[in-house]
Amino acid sequence: MNKHTRIDVTEFVKRRFDLMAQMPENSVALIPAGKEVTRSRDTEFLFCQDKDFYYLTGFHEPDALLVLVKSIECESILFCRAKDPEQEVWHGRRVGAEQAESEFNFDVTYELAELEQILPLYINNRDAVLFAQGSNSEFDSLVFACLDILRGAGKQGLTAPKTIIDIRDLIHEMRLIKSPSEIKVMREANEISANAHKRAMQASEQGLFEYQIEADILHEFAYNGARSAAYGSIVAGGENATILHYTDNDEVLMSDELVLIDAGAELAGYAADITRTFPVNGKFTKHQAQLYNLVLAAQEAVIASIKPGSNFAIANDIANTVLTTGLYELGILTGDLKQLIIDKASKQYFIHGIGHWLGLDVHDVGDYQINEDRQQVREFQPGMVLTIEPGLYFDGEANVDENYQGIGIRIEDNILVTEAGYENLSVNAPKTVSDIEAIMKK
Ligand code: GLY
Ligand code: MN
Ligand code: MN
């Protein structure tokens, strides 16, 4: 088992074969690794591997290239950085071409220095080349340079593929259905993240800065093996919670306010994406609890409906019905309730979608099949993982009773679709009023 991937190398080999089985006869696929990104002068951000490349290789170094050849036989080829004692003393160990072949089970490996000379030969005489055209201009240029070399060498019997195919759809459809070993990693990413949310609840106190709670969360992630958050953590006290992607995290928490935390660990490449909202002082006021219980009721109703064959459009409808009815009962929405539900009146305060796919990317890949109503109607299938995250947001300008103004609430769980229905992967993060108040009791 590779320490970076936590998934056996045989599974990566199988994914490559599954992809090649879908490629046209006599074609070649090119999937580049990620590149290091400069943070400042000569220092880089912590490296994040390209997720499609990672899915097919488990290889954790930048600058590599996966080549898949589908001909009479199928072949997996990796180009990667050469061993280099001087570079390795400064920047860390490299696997090297020789070890990559045996450790990651490629048929052939080369050092990057050989790329320009050898890559055209793998593309030569193929009917089609598959790659993610447009996602990486430097790589586009490399592929087009190879094609030009082949087109210019007809007299030597070389030919360039006539067809270019976007490989993303094929890989992304595969990534949408998680294997048992991927689910195991995602369960663990969720356990770590749920513990971080619990710790944040226990640490919460009037007068702390939002970033101090963020520090607790990031410590819990890293200490448990998830060195990165899957996305910028949101710790939003009071009205900051009405800013959906608030990441400044630099204000003081006030005793009578709620704090919204949207934070998830990335473990072995896989994201968790959990949101909890709770009172800074550990006790909900009457009005906070009214809104909180309404969002929770919507979330629980949607989650209870998750099963194979359902879809995001149904989930959105359930959330809208529960939220609109609740807002009507609280006097926040007025008029004819039936009509309000048809008009999706809750959307005034629930301003984002009910959820998204989750996996190697936090907003994971895979088609939603958005129809003409812009509804997400792709059927849920066992092995899909998705978030369910209703919310209500009343900024200081909202035309509502002043007791509700400045309140933002979101509750977000990570749901695995199973044969029988669903499994809530983030179930260990407390979310009922009584569970939250109990864990926060000093
Ligand atoms: N954390 C980003 C999202 O919930 O979609
Ligand atoms: Mn989310
Ligand atoms: Mn989130």
Residue 373 has pLDDT above 80, yes or no: no
| Residue (of 285, 282, 264) closest to 389 by Cα position | 264
422 is written with which tokens?
């669903």
Fill in the amino acid letter for 255.
S
396 confidence band (pLDDT: 50, 70, 90): confident
Q: Please identify, by atom number, the ligand 1 atom nearest to the C-alpha of residue 389.
A: 4
Helix (H) or strand (E) holding 411: none
Q: Please identify, by atom number, the ligand 1 atom nearest to the C-alpha of residue 273.
A: 1
Q: Supply φ then ψ for residue 31, to 5 degrees.
A: -130, 105
E strands, 93-225, are: 108-111, 128-131, 163-166
* pLDDT score of 442: 86
Q: Which of 81, 175, 187, 410 is catalytic?
A: 410
How far, in Å, CA of 298 to CA of 347, rounded?
A: 13
Domains of the chain with bracketed CATH: 9-175 (3.40.350.10), 177-440 (3.90.230.10)
57 confidence band (pLDDT: 50, 70, 90): very high
Our answer on whether the CB atom of 273 is closer than 6 Å to any ligand 1 atom is: yes
Q: Is 412 a catalytic residue?
A: yes
Tell me the best of 389, 411, 415, 426 to mutate to test the pocket of ligand 1, counting ligand atoms within 8 Å of each CB and taking the most: 389
Q: Which of 52, 188, 364, 389 is catalytic?
A: 389
Q: What is the mean pLDDT of residues 353-378?
A: 86
How far, in Å, CA of 236 to CA of 240, rounded?
A: 5
Residue 408 has pLDDT above 90, yes or no: yes
Q: What is the mean pLDDT of residues 317-327?
A: 98
CA 191 to chain CA centroid, Å, is: 16
pLDDT digits (tens, 9 = 90+) for 75-87: 999 999 999 999 9
How far, in Å, CA of 423 to CA of 271, rounded?
A: 16
441 is written with which tokens?
């009791």
Our answer on whether the CB atom of 262 is closer than 6 Å to any ligand 1 atom is: yes
Residue with tokens 């094609």: 147
> pTM of the prediction?
0.96
* pLDDT score of 374: 59
67 is written with which tokens?
């080549």
How far, in Å, CA of 75 to CA of 280, rounded?
A: 57
Mean pLDDT of the chain: 96
| Residue (of 149, 99, 142) closest to 121 by Cα position | 149
How far, in Å, CA of 366 to CA of 384, rounded?
A: 10
Q: Is 389 a catalytic residue?
A: yes
pLDDT digits (tens, 9 = 90+) for 265-297: 999 999 999 999 999 999 999 999 999 999 999
362 is written with which tokens?
């936090």
Q: What is the mean pLDDT of residues 315-335?
A: 98
How far, in Å, CA of 415 to CA of 429, rounded?
A: 13
pLDDT digits (tens, 9 = 90+) for 218-255: 999 999 999 999 999 999 999 999 999 999 999 999 99
Q: Ligand 2: distance of its center to the CA of 215 in Å?
A: 21
How far, in Å, CA of 144 to CA of 141, rounded?
A: 5
Nearest protein CA to atom 4 of ligand 1, as residue: 273
pLDDT digits (tens, 9 = 90+) for 11-29: 999 999 999 999 999 999 9
Q: Ligand 2: distance of its center to the CA of 281 in Å?
A: 26
For residues 189 and 267, the answer to whether their CB atoms sit within 8 Å is yes
